[in-house]
A and B are shown apart, each in its own frame.
Chain A
Amino acid sequence: MNSKAYSLFLKDFKSELRTRYAINALAMFIIVAISVILFSVGNEKISASLTGGLFWVVIFFTAMSGLSRAFVSEEERGTTLALQLVAAPTTVFSGKLIFNIILVFAMNTVIAILYSAMFDAFVIQNFLLFLTSFVFGNIGLAVSSTIIAAIIAKAGAKGTLYPVLAFPILLPLILTSVQLTLFAIDGISFERAKFELAIVVSYDVIMLTASYMLFDFIWKE
């Protein structure tokens, strides 16, 4: 099953490299979103805590613009039935999830680098804490957006519905991640942030379990 999930991921990866649809769209969206913030801020000096919040605004909307592709593209090309024949639902979900996790990590790393280059106030004091929260936050983001993408694809690829459905599900993760980013900016120690870290980790675990249990129903629909 694992090798099958890996080959499904490889298929997505190769077709992505050929069309470069998601990568191009995401890269442009990141630039657009950050420049919108830069223009709206103007010459104003913004505080460090505000940059921490805006950082997650960029991440959320970028994720919403590109991550639904995983399942919507299958539905558009009409390859869903073929996938249903060759692989078990959990395998399909694993393949898509790996692809989305890699996409989220690539996208958020670019955002973080560009962001810290553009905003002088965005200085991370406790880098290790930022990295830990970043990794777990990305996994949670990828899991939730993958399962919502599966629902959206079956609902007839309604693009506008994606952020609407995903936002309440992602809200606990985003609120805690903003908090953790602020902690990292303020240079607060690991010890004091461990409750927030535990929330993010438990969110990841709960979402992963629920997604694997519920994906069957979506996929067979």
Chain B
Amino acid sequence: MIWKIFLFLLLAFVSVAGISFPIVENPTRWYEFPLIPGLEENAKIIFFHVPTAWLTVIAFLMSTIYSFKYLRKKNLDDDVKSYAAAQLGMIFCILATVTGAVWAKFAWGSYWSWDPRQTSIFALLLIYGAWFALRSSIESEEKRATLSSVYSMIAFVTVPFFIFIMPRIMSGLHPGSADDSNAGPVVNFKMNGNMQLIFFLSMIGFTVLYFWMWNVGYRSMLLKEKLDKKLIRG
């Protein structure tokens, strides 16, 4: 219980600090953020956009790991865990896409410009969408679990193409991409100590939140299944 209160306080602090701390050219006080050329006030989205994108990847990875586990052990609980992770992944994927698009409107001038990062998050949305469509089309539990596990493994091997290769063949606008000179590796060099601290606190807070949500999600699904089986048996 105590850690839930702590998590609430942490995320509340991150939200307030991330939105309200001012960005100045030469930060002197502890609550001031430095000015990053090319990003300016837009830089504040880093506290909310990057964690959602990070959780999208984590959720996708966990969903694949549990799919892999299911294929090896054929334990239906693993499929439920994979499903719960993918559900959260879908939510965070939509959040990352929307926050990214809103940010892009102010930083690049348009909501969508097929930057490599935008292309890859779009492909991830498509994969999740296809995965849920596949799951909803199959009645039998075992069959659904096996086929969706296989599909998520196949989808997973295409991910390196989107993450590592697409940014190299397409020119990118996203901060941190290869040919980005003015707003280069933001996290390492352009942020000062307190900005980094709040950024990593936000990452930790969101990650703990994700694991909590995932835990509640899959436990409730397992309980529901147990109850269903009890009701059927009478």
Q: Is B187 an interface residue (CB 8 A)?
A: no
Q: For residue B155, which residues in chain A have a CB less than 8 angstroms away from its CB?
A: 168-169
Task: Give the distance in Å from the alpha carbon of A172 to the alpha carbon of B164 in the complex.
Answer: 11
Looking at the assembled complex, report how far the CB atom of B175 sits from the nearest CB atom of chain A, in whole angstroms. Answer: 22
Looking at the assembled complex, report how far the CB atom of A102 sits from the nearest CB atom of chain B, in whole angstroms. Answer: 23
Q: Is B224 an interface residue (CB 8 A)?
A: no
Given known A164-B129, A172-B162, contact A179–B169 (CB-CB < 8 A): yes
Q: Is B62 an interface residue (CB 8 A)?
A: no
Given known A154-B147, A214-B150, contact A169–B129 (CB-CB < 8 A): no
- Chain A residues with a Cβ closer than 8 Å to the other chain, count: 30
Given known A161-B133, A175-B166, contact A167–B150 (CB-CB < 8 A): no
A-B CB contacts (within 8 Å), total count: 79
Looking at the assembled complex, report how far the CB atom of B64 sits from the nearest CB atom of chain A, in whole angstroms. Answer: 12
Task: Give the distance in Å from the alpha carbon of A158 to the alpha carbon of B157 in the complex.
Answer: 24
**Listed stretches A7-15, A105-113, A115-123, A202-210; interface member:** A202-210
Q: Is A156 an interface residue (CB 8 A)?
A: yes
**A161:B134 contact, CB within 8 angstroms:** yes
Q: For residue A191, which residues in chain B have a CB less than 8 angstroms away from its CB?
A: none
**B:113-140 near A, CB below 8 Å:** 119, 123, 126-127, 129-130, 133-134, 137-138
Q: What are 17 of the A-B contact pairs (CB < 8 Å)?
A: A148-B154, A155-B147, A161-B137, A164-B133, A165-B133, A167-B130, A168-B123, A169-B154, A171-B126, A195-B169, A196-B169, A199-B161, A199-B165, A206-B157, A217-B146, A221-B142, A221-B143
Residues of A within 8 A of B (CB): 147-148, 151, 154-156, 158, 161, 164-165, 167-169, 171-172, 175-176, 179, 195-196, 199, 203, 206-207, 210-211, 214, 217-218, 221
